[in-house]
Amino acid sequence: MSQSLIGGALFFIVVVILLIIFACLFYLWTKTRQLERFASRVRNQKADTQPAETGKGSILGFSGKELYDVLKNGSDTQEHLIEIKKSYVFYLSRHLESAIEQGIIDQKQSKSTDMESEMAVGGTRGDVNSWLPLETLSKFYSFGKSLNTAMETDDEVGEAKDKLGQLLREALENLNMQSYTDRMADLIAKKYILSA
C-alpha cells in the first residue's frame, strides 16, 4: 500500500509542477503581448511627434535647393539658421566628399562622370537631400581627379591641403558657413590627402 501511495504522490507532484510551468508560460506570454502593444504605441507616438528634420529628407523643413537658398540668403530666423548649419554641416561634407571620391575613382579608371547638383546623403537622422551648384561640385570633382594618391613630399601634401582649404572656403562662404572651413578641411584632408 505504501508503493501505491508513493506513486499517487509522485503523480500529484508531477501534475502540480506541470501546472506551475504552464502558469508561468501563460504569464510570460501575456506580459510579452502587453510589452509589444506598449512598444507599438510608443513607436506610433514617436512617429507622430517627431520633428520634420529627422529621417524625412529635410532639416527643419528645408531640403535640396531650398535648403541651399535659405543658407545662402539667410532667409530664416538666426536661431533656425544656426540649427540648420549645425545639422547640415555633416551632410554637406559628405556631399563634397562624394564629388572628390568620384573624381578619384574616375582618375583611376580614366573616365569622366557628369555630376548632379542634388544628392540624397545618408546620416544618423536619415537621408537629407543636399543641393550644390554644379560649378562647386565640378571644382571638388576636378580636385579629386587631380589628387595624386602617392604624394611623396611634404610640399605636395601642403599644396593639396591648401587647395582643399581654398575650395572649401569658397563653397562655405556661399552658404555663410565659413566657421566650419577649418574643421571640414581637416576631416576631408585626413581621408583623402593624409591617408595616401
Residue 196, C-beta contacts closer than 8 angstroms, at least 6 positions apart = 147, 148, 149, 150, 151
The strand ranges marked E within the chain are 118-121, 128-131
Block means of pLDDT (10 residues each) for the chain, 196 residues, are 84 96 96 90 69 56 83 82 85 89 87 83 78 89 79 77 88 86 85 71
pLDDT recorded at residue 24: 97
The residue extents of the domains of the chain are 1-49, 64-192
User: Are 139 and 169 contacting, i.e. CB atoms less than 8 angstroms apart?
Assistant: no
CA distance 47 to 40: 11
Rg (CA), the chain: 30
Q: Taking the model in full, what pTM does it have? A: 0.65
Residue with the three cell numbers 538666426: 78
For 104-123, give one letter per residue: b (16+ CB within 10 A) or e.
beebeeeeeeebebebebee
pLDDT recorded at residue 52: 43
Residue 112, C-beta contacts closer than 8 angstroms, at least 6 positions apart = 106
Phi, psi of 59 (to 5 degrees): -120, 115
